[in-house]
Amino acid sequence: NKLVAALDDEKHRSEAVTTLHALAEALETSSNLGLTLKTVHLPALDYPIRLLLTRAVFSPEFWGRTFAEGLLKSKEQFRGKKIVEVGTGSGWISILLLLFTHVKEVVGLDLNPVAVTMARLNSWLNGTTRDGTLRLSLAGEPIVQSFRAEVSDLLTAPLQRNEYFDHVIGCIPQVLHPNPGIQKLDHSGSSAEKK
C-alpha cells in the first residue's frame, strides 16, 4: 500500500514508478515476498502485459482469456464509454480494454482489497515505462488516469455515489463451497439443510 500511495503522490511518483518497474524486473526470474509476475503476450502489442500477482488474486487463465476475446469481438461498443468491471482481480481485463478499444474510462471493482491494490499497481506497471513516461490508451488518454480501482461489494460503492456506467462487465470465477452438502435451495428459493 505504501507503493500505491507513492504512485498517487506527484512528489514521490517518479521514484515509485522506478521502484515498481525494478520490482517487476526482479520478479521475472523469481518470486519475492509472496509476489509473482505473469506476462501475457498479445500479438498486437510490442510489449507484453505484465501483472503483479499474489495468491489472493486470480491469475489470467483460459476462462479469462476467453472472456477477453469475447469482449474484443465487439470493440466498437466501448468507444467513448465508461464501463465498470465487477471482480477486476489483477485489473488485466480493464488494462486490455484500455489498450485495444476506444473506451473512455474503466472502473475496476473487487471485494478483495488485495486485488484492488494489485489492479492499481498493474495499471501503473502497464501504464508507464521504466523512465516514467505515460502510456496512452487507444483513446489517447493516459492509462493510469483512465483506470480506477476500488473496493466494492459488486456495484455497492458506485451506486451509493449515483455513478453512471454505459456497460457493466465481469468474469467472476465460480468458487465452490468447500462443503457442498451443507445447504441447498428448495424450489421456493429458501435454503434448507441437505439430508
- The count of other CB atoms within 10 Å of the CB of residue 186 is 8
User: For residues 126 and 164, is the Cβ–Cβ distance under 8 A?
Assistant: no
* pLDDT confidence band for 171 (50 / 70 / 90): confident
* pLDDT confidence band for 159 (50 / 70 / 90): very high
Place of cell 509473482: 36
Q: What is the mean pLDDT of the chain?
A: 87
Of the spans 21-30, 42-51, 138-147, which averages the highest pLDDT?
138-147
Q: How big, in percent rounded to 5, are the helix, strand and coil portions of the chain?
A: 35, 20, 45
| 172 against 54, higher pLDDT | 54
* pLDDT confidence band for 195 (50 / 70 / 90): very low
| 38 against 60, higher pLDDT | 38
Mean per-residue pLDDT, 44-73: 83
User: For residues 49 and 39, is the Cβ–Cβ distance under 8 A?
Assistant: yes
Alpha helices in 35-76 (DSSP H): 62-72
Tell me the pTM: 0.84
User: What percent of the chain has pLDDT above 70?
Assistant: 86
Q: Is the pLDDT of residue 69 over 90?
A: no
- The count of other CB atoms within 10 Å of the CB of residue 32 is 11
* Separation between Cα atoms, residue 191 and residue 176, nearest integer Å: 17
Q: What is the pLDDT of residue 66?
A: 77
* pLDDT confidence band for 194 (50 / 70 / 90): very low
